[in-house]
A and B are shown apart, each in its own frame.
Chain A
Amino acid sequence: MAVNPVALGQPERRKGKPWDKAYPYVSITIPFLVIALFTIYPVLYAVRISFYQYILTKPKSHPFIGLKNFQDVITSYYFRTSLVNTAVYTIAAVIGVTIFGLVVAMLLNSKFKTASALKIIILLPWAIPAVVAGLMWKWMLNSDFGIINGILYALGLIDKYIPFFANPTLAKISLVMAQIWKEGPLAAIFLLAGLQLIPSELYEAAKIDGGTGWRIFRFVTLPLLRPIILIVVVYETITAILVFDLIYVLTGGGPGDSTSMISWFAYAEIFKNLNLGHGVALAIVIALITLVLIIVYLRVIQSEETISG
């Protein structure tokens, strides 16, 4: 390959060498194999486990039990609660993150000096481990010496410290607050990218036509941002349904089962009850729910695109 063909007077494109035929396959082989090893086999294995009794406290007996794991999981005491919890949490988190993202994106797109400071730090929560984010909030919201209680108390807004994690509603709100803090920045950056794609002539035209702030937002900005808002909603829905790290450290599913989401129970079945069959069956149910949502969303996005041309 070291020969310079130009020097040899070969101006036409070289072709037909066996290496050129093989090259595309060579270049994708290793990544493809690594990904396949950690995709195909695990999925098949997981499906297999879900049809057998796999309880670690009964290591010698793994009978085939058909769909019993799925039946057990779906009729379990926690299935309904966890579905409701997950749905409430997902809806609250997605709405919260999207509105937060929209507001921050609009502010970052403005010309205020303070906005450039916000721009520098906005990505920080996104860049850190979710476990650590959860711990930071857990400690700041601590009922005995948390800084948030401290500040509210020092400002005279409360008489005594609020036990954020002892009350089911407050625990849920805390969790959503932490999720918005962690996920909102990414949504803001996505929506900012969308805002910057909108040609400024459109705004000028709207102003000449007598549009005011809110009406321009409602009838110019929002419709043009629609595709990106949809993507943010899809992405954040999946993130919220699968949320685990944050709950693991922040509430541990409590108080009671009030913040126990469906993926938390999958974890609990596997690592606490040591019932792999149940845990994996539940994980597969979660995967199917997510898949259905993704398909529905993709349909929506596609129909959007055909409508808008």
Chain B
Amino acid sequence: MTPKFKQTLNSIIVNFLIILLIVYIGGPFVWMAVASIQGENELLKKPPSIIPQNPTTDNYRYVFTGKIPTSYEVKGQLRSRISQEARLIAPALKNSFIVAVTVMLINLLLGTPAAYTFSRINFRGKKPSYNFILASRLMPAMAVAIPYYVIILSFKLLDTYLALILIYSALTLPFTIWFLTLYITNIPRDMEDAGLVDGCTPFQALTKIVVPMMAPGLVAAAAFAFMTSYNEFLFARFLTQSIKSQTGPVIIASIAGNPDASYSLISVCITLGLIPPLILAVTMRKWLTEGLSASITFR
């Protein structure tokens, strides 16, 4: 084997492997989107058509307007229960969005000053309070599920946004504070010291000098908080009771849990539900990757 041939062979194998991985990672998303524009009867064929034969927007129209897709009429199977549930996806995603954005803002507004304090200011009780915040993340969700329910019940907050916002803030703040503390610690102090000498308060030093320098860290922290809240399932599952506060994952799991589920409608719900995190993951890719990398390589 000549070296050149060996190199070409090597590059073919590596490229093939990468393409295989692209299909493994991306394939499921493509299939959901493709399935969502097919009629139910096409999806239930053996084998299903990978390229839609009669692409249709009927499934989406049904979810948003309630007009029953023609493919159901052909088969004479009107699945009223699942159909009604699928129509809840739009309000459920709205709920998810409101909760996740609020939690994100809370993380930025409360987490940033706290992280700055932990990173730059010495005060009595600093170490124990920081360690407590970090250790709180080790608590297993299942053990505290019942106590959370009791707390929310006694605050009369069952089935409200506020219940989810409080719990998700408690779940995300430790990561945000830890992550931003490390981030700020890695920013040189010179600029702030100059500011402090000039008479800035610590809070002014934070808002005027540090915040602009830590923008990438803030973007990453915000995205993490948003995703954690948008994706959470267990607590949302039993702290919400109606579409007043039920989130996307809860509704999607409930629709799919119906044995009579319509696959084209499930794929519509999944596709719609995935749009926000996917947009976030692609547009924020650089910051997310940097943030994740930083969180593991900072010492």
Contact (Cβ within 8 A) A120 B285 = yes
With A43-B144, A181-B28, A245-B234 already in contact, the answer to whether A186 and B292 are too (CB < 8 A) is: yes
Interface residue A208 (Cβ < 8 Å from any Cβ of B): no
Contact (Cβ within 8 A) A150 B46 = yes
With A11-B197, A49-B146, A244-B142 already in contact, the answer to whether A149 and B170 are too (CB < 8 A) is: no
Contact (Cβ within 8 A) A107 B14 = yes
Q: Which residues of A are interface residues toward B (Cβ below 8 A)?
A: 1, 4-6, 10-14, 19-20, 23-25, 27-28, 30-32, 34-39, 41-43, 45-46, 49, 103-104, 107, 110, 112, 114-115, 117-132, 135-140, 144-145, 147, 149-151, 153-154, 161, 181, 185-186, 189-190, 192-194, 196-197, 228, 231, 242, 244-245, 248-249, 263, 266-267, 270-271, 276, 279-280, 283-284, 286-287, 290-291, 294
Task: Say which one of B55-63, B79-87, B106-114 lies at the interface with A.
Answer: B106-114
B142 to chain A, nearest CB (A): 4
B295 to chain A, nearest CB (A): 9
Which listed residue, A35, A131, A228, A280, touches B173 by the CB 8 Å rule?
A: A35
Contact (Cβ within 8 A) B266 A139 = yes
Chain B residue numbers with a CB within 8 Å of A129 are 230-233, 248-249, 252, 273, 277
Chain B window 162-206, contacts with chain A (Cβ cutoff 8 Å), 1 for yes, 0 for no: 000011011101100100000000000000000011110111100
Report 26 cross-chain contacts, Cβ distance below 8 Å, ordered by A residue.
A12-B197, A24-B123, A25-B123, A27-B116, A28-B113, A28-B117, A37-B151, A38-B151, A38-B167, A112-B18, A124-B29, A124-B281, A128-B277, A131-B249, A132-B252, A135-B253, A140-B31, A145-B46, A153-B46, A185-B25, A189-B289, A193-B297, A228-B297, A242-B140, A244-B142, A291-B138
Tell me the chain B residues, 262-299 only, with Cβ under 8 Å from chain A.
263, 266-267, 270, 273-274, 277-278, 280-282, 285, 288-289, 292-294, 296-297
Chain B residue numbers with a CB within 8 Å of A4 are 199
Interface residue B3 (Cβ < 8 Å from any Cβ of A): no
Q: How far is the CA of A244 from the CA of B31 in the complex (A)?
A: 25
Chain B residue numbers with a CB within 8 Å of A150 are 46-48, 50
Chain B window 8-52, contacts with chain A (Cβ cutoff 8 Å), 1 for yes, 0 for no: 000100110111011011101101100000000001111110100
Question: Which among A32, A34, A135, A248 has the greatest number of chain B C-beta atoms within 10 A?
Answer: A135
Q: How large is the interface on B (under 10, 10 to 19, 20 to 34, 35 or more residues)?
A: 35 or more
Which listed residue, B47, B234, B257, touches A153 by the CB 8 Å rule?
A: B47
Chain A residue numbers with a CB within 8 Å of B242 are none
Chain A residue numbers with a CB within 8 Å of B256 are 135, 138-139, 249
Chain B residue numbers with a CB within 8 Å of A118 are 18, 21-22, 25
Q: How far is the CA of A266 from the CA of B145 in the complex (A)?
A: 11
Interface residue B211 (Cβ < 8 Å from any Cβ of A): no
Chain A residue numbers with a CB within 8 Å of B101 are none
Q: Other CB < 8 Å A-B pairs besides A123-B281, A279-B146, 15 of them?
A: A32-B133, A38-B170, A39-B139, A42-B147, A42-B148, A46-B147, A49-B146, A110-B14, A127-B281, A144-B46, A145-B44, A185-B25, A228-B296, A266-B142, A287-B143
